[in-house]
Structure 1
Amino acid sequence: MSKRGAPAALFLAVCLTAGTLLSPAALATGEDALPAAALVNPEIPCQSAILIEQTSGRVLFEKDPDTPMPPASITKIMTLLLVMEALDAGTITLETAVTCSPHAASMGGAQIWLEPGERMTVHELLKATAISSANDAAVALGELISGSEEAFVARMNERAGELGMKNTTFQNATGLDAQGHLTTARDIALMSQALLSHPLITEYSTVWMDSLRNGETQLVNTNKLVRFFEGATGLKTGTTDGAGYCLSASATRKGLSLIAVVLGADTSDHRFGSARGLLEYGFAHYEAREVPPPDPALEPLPVRRGVRRTVELACDAPERMLLEKGKGEQLTEQRELAGELEAPVEAGTRVGTIRLLLDGVVVCEYPVKTASAVERMTMKSAFPMFWGELIRMGPAGDGNG
């Protein structure tokens, strides 16, 4: 086995066979989340890490996930997110031409050697940023959106706050080491989740090799998992003297999407090995299962003073839920439903909640709503209803005394 593969194999073996060393995290959802169990194995070769399920954000695994650290070029996840949001808003397009400023051209580190005044499209700069982590391309995109890197960084920090990234402060759009430029593994997972909600990003983050300038500039993805890990969807590497080796890695298998963040590894091999091991752990122990229908089926709810006596119900359930493998048959259902409604009732009115529990812990929760509207009965609507009821009942007697 090569030295490159050894750390991953060692860590994966620990993940899959040493149950006493690794404790699966309790499922976590928002402020009411149960705390995730810490990664007990001290040999994981990084300073901070987290593993989450991409759709729900549930934490499956963590190690010091809230310790602020320099993120290096993982910073560009926020840069790319703001570009995706600008594309969605229609303020820019993939064909928008960008003229490189002297400031953007002055960036060191990874770059595509943009010259002041050189023009590239947003599409080309996205390729350079997402695939090759080009600092000059990232700054050029930031200047396009906000007018200057300084203004763009202010927007980055504002967006971080909106996403709930409580321990993040950006000082630049690139991730080059700077005083106070810090974030955490948990915060990176949050912004990775937000970026991956834009399907367009994977058209860049999954590319292994490409080129610019009619083939004169070669682009090779800095994330080796894109080529060597089954189901990889991205996302971003980072390396500086201050940050060490960092990675936000995402992958999807059999409908289950995971994000693993690794910060402060001391070698590139340890970075990729740690992320690979975390992802393999997640895929080995969890699955995305279809949410079963309510059992027994929901009965219509009675409606007082309505033109109809009952209203049908509908479930607003997600397509899938996250479960530990082999636990699907142990689910129990808990439902809370209104006993009776009073007209008028609007369609889509929430009338209850269904929860699916595993060992007493809620693993899926969704609302029950009215499937249609029920108008309140009036004198005008009551008469035809009364007349129809008389016709349905027929004559009062049959003439035989």
Structure 2
Amino acid sequence: MKRKVKKFGTALISLILVLLLGLGNAFAQPTALEGSKPNPSKEKTPSAQLETSAETAVLLDYSSGQVLLDKDMHKSRPMASVTKLMTMLLICEAEAQGKIKTSDKVIASEHACSMGGSQIFLEPGEELSVKEMLISIATGSANDSSVAMAEYIAGSEEEFVSMMNEKTKEMGLKNTHFSNPTGLPIENHYTSAYDMAQVLRECLRYPLFREVSSIYEYDLRGGDFKLWNTNKLLKWYAGADAGKTGWTNEASYCLAASAKRDGLRLVSVVLGCPMPRTHFQETIKIFNYGFAKYKAVTLAEAGQVVKEIKVDKGIEDKVKIMTKDSVGVVVPKGQEKTVQGNINLPDQIDAPVKKGQVVGQYVVNKDGQEVLQVDLVAAQDVMKASPLKLLNDMLDRVYSME
């Protein structure tokens, strides 16, 4: 009998301890992460709100870079010929800087002509212009043209790849590394949907890229060789005007694309789509989502003059101030009135003033909180006035007071 009472007492004590521990844990759960704070970046970045078969995907507003949809957008993956966006970016950049001209003749090397995969079948010693090479890359995804241009710009394919990776660092891309300018399978060659969206955004800043990327068909070599753009969205989707496709066994089907409707330009990247044409289908689905849900609120276009301010001791009394980039944000439809803009500028600045000099900021607020800041710059040079002009100006002011 004593043994039973002892066992019952032991069991009762154990039960009480379990209940106490359970209650302790229950009360402790709300403060188990006490001292930690929500990650604001994660809260502001929307996760995928629609199903997509892509391994990784992202949808951005072109102007602000605002993320509108995200499915593992920072996950690194091979990207096949989407690589050529960086190749084309460096070509367009070199042309804009005056280092090359679109009319320059490029001679194809044996190495460039040895590339497999998609190509325009360059012959060693064949000459094409920079623009023809660029069109071949943009439309026909030509590996031989990509390497020929890499050699023309940097002297060798290897040096051009170094330039690609330097540009990656300059742009702050964290999940991208290039090992060739083509996207042909090779080790240590990868990107993320987010990084490649940034590359496409940068490409779109160049009129030359927009021109060649929008070409759907092109007659090369006087019409002897027909090029058809691999980006079928140019024909299939209203507003699509730029992008680059890619496919290898390792990368599956990939597409970076841009489309514009009603003042809203969206940039989409899908990597690792499983079947033929699914990269187009998924991109259309993502674009439809973006255009249906969001609206662009544009306060000023890039390069728009927004004000004039006084210049002290300059040969001109005033200087025009313009926006460096477009000023606008994307908001869910129906929230357009929550956006306000403020121009922050000094009353006057001292000469000399250089064109492009940052003078102030255009600040955009949504619901009273700052969401965007765009530099305001001088629209022209204003040289410092000579001592004689300063004296004349002073005398004019004196006489005008009489």
> When the two structures are superposed, what TM-score results if normalisation uses the length of structure 1?
0.74
> Are residues 209 and 60 of structure 1, via their aligned partners in 2, closer, same or farther at CA, if it must alter by over 3 Å?
same
Pick from 171, 174, 178: which aligns with 1:163?
171
In structure 1, the residue matched to 2:76 is 68
Superposition deviation, residue 234 in structure 1:
1.4
Is it true that 1:37 corresponds to 2:65 in the alignment? no
> Are residues 315 and 227 of structure 1, via their aligned partners in 2, closer, same or farther at CA, if it must alter by over 3 Å?
same
In structure 1, the residue matched to 2:334 is 326
Alignment check: 8 A CA contact 1:50 1:59 kept:
yes
Q: Compare 81-90 and 359-368 and name the one that shifted more.
A: 359-368
Superposition deviation, residue 274 in structure 1:
1.3
In structure 1, the residue matched to 2:7 is none
Alignment check: 8 A CA contact 2:299 2:341 kept:
no
Deviations 1:207-251 (A, max 9, x none): 222222222222111111011111111110000000000000111
Superposition deviation, residue 355 in structure 1:
3.5
Pick from 221, 237, 253: which aligns with 1:213?
221
Pick from 235, 238, 251: which aligns with 1:230?
238
In structure 2, the residue matched to 1:27 is none
Alignment check: 8 A CA contact 1:72 1:177 kept:
yes
Alignment check: 8 A CA contact 1:124 1:212 kept:
yes
Deviations 1:129-182 (A, max 9, x none): 110101111111111111111111111111111111121110111001111101
Superposition deviation, residue 202 in structure 1:
2.2
Superposition deviation, residue 126 in structure 1:
1.4
Which segments of 5 or more consecutive residues in structure 2 lack a partner in the other structure? Answer: 1-39, 301-305
Aligned length: 346
Superposition deviation, residue 383 in structure 1:
9.6
Give the distance between the partners of 2:211 and 2:341, measured in 1 at CA: 40
Tell me, what secondary structure is at the counterpart of 2:48?
coil
In structure 2, the residue matched to 1:79 is 87
Matched AA of 2:222: N
Give the distance between the partners of 2:90 and 2:360, measured in 1 at CA: 37
> Are residues 367 and 214 of structure 1, via their aligned partners in 2, closer, same or farther at CA, if it must alter by over 3 Å?
closer
Give the distance between the partners of 2:101 and 2:361, measured in 1 at CA: 42
Alignment check: 8 A CA contact 1:315 1:367 kept:
no
Matched AA of 2:294: Y
Give matches, 1:298-317, under 5 Å.
Answer: none
The alignment-based identity, stated in percent, is 36
Q: Compare 242-251 and 59-68 and name the one that shifted more.
A: 59-68
Give the distance between the partners of 1:379 and 1:128, measured in 2 at CA: 61
Cα RMSD of the aligned pairs, angstroms, is 3.8
Matched AA of 1:284: A
Give the distance between the partners of 2:343 and 2:152, measured in 1 at CA: 51
Give the distance between the partners of 1:134 and 1:363, measured in 2 at CA: 41
Give the distance between the partners of 2:377 and 2:90, measured in 1 at CA: 35
Give matches, 1:17-36, under 5 Å.
Answer: 35-36=44-45
Give the distance between the partners of 1:235 and 1:181, measured in 2 at CA: 20
In structure 1, the residue matched to 2:367 is 359
Superposition deviation, residue 363 in structure 1:
3.6
Matched AA of 1:162: E
Is it true that 1:48 corresponds to 2:56 in the alignment? yes
Q: Compare 281-290 and 32-41 and name the one that shifted more.
A: 32-41
Give the distance between the partners of 1:350 and 1:90, measured in 2 at CA: 24
In structure 2, the residue matched to 1:131 is 139
Alignment check: 8 A CA contact 1:73 1:239 kept:
yes
Matched AA of 1:86: A
> Are residues 85 and 332 of structure 1, via their aligned partners in 2, closer, same or farther at CA, if it must alter by over 3 Å?
closer
Deviations 1:62-118 (A, max 9, x none): 111111110100000111111112212222222222221111111111111112222
Matched AA of 1:288: A
In structure 2, the residue matched to 1:107 is 115
Give the distance between the partners of 2:345 and 2:298, measured in 1 at CA: 23
Tell me, what secondary structure is at the counterpart of 1:214?
helix
> Are residues 137 and 357 of structure 1, via their aligned partners in 2, closer, same or farther at CA, if it must alter by over 3 Å?
same
Which segments of 5 or more consecutive residues in structure 1 lack a partner in the other structure? Answer: 1-30, 392-401
> Are residues 379 and 315 of structure 1, via their aligned partners in 2, closer, same or farther at CA, if it must alter by over 3 Å?
closer
Superposition deviation, residue 351 in structure 1:
8.4
> Are residues 326 and 222 of structure 1, via their aligned partners in 2, closer, same or farther at CA, if it must alter by over 3 Å?
same
Pick from 103, 108, 125: which aligns with 1:117?
125
Tell me, what secondary structure is at the counterpart of 1:282?
helix
Deviations 1:333-383 (A, max 9, x none): 678788x99x979879988766432234434435689999999xx999999
Tell me, what secondary structure is at the counterpart of 1:268?
coil
Give matches, 1:267-286, under 5 Å.
Answer: 267-286=275-294
Alignment check: 8 A CA contact 1:112 1:134 kept:
yes
> When the two structures are superposed, what TM-score results if normalisation uses the length of structure 2?
0.74
Alignment check: 8 A CA contact 1:346 1:370 kept:
no
Give the distance between the partners of 2:363 and 2:186, measured in 1 at CA: 46
> Are residues 330 and 116 of structure 1, via their aligned partners in 2, closer, same or farther at CA, if it must alter by over 3 Å?
same
In structure 1, the residue matched to 2:13 is none
> Are residues 38 and 215 of structure 1, via their aligned partners in 2, closer, same or farther at CA, if it must alter by over 3 Å?
same
Alignment check: 8 A CA contact 2:328 2:364 kept:
no
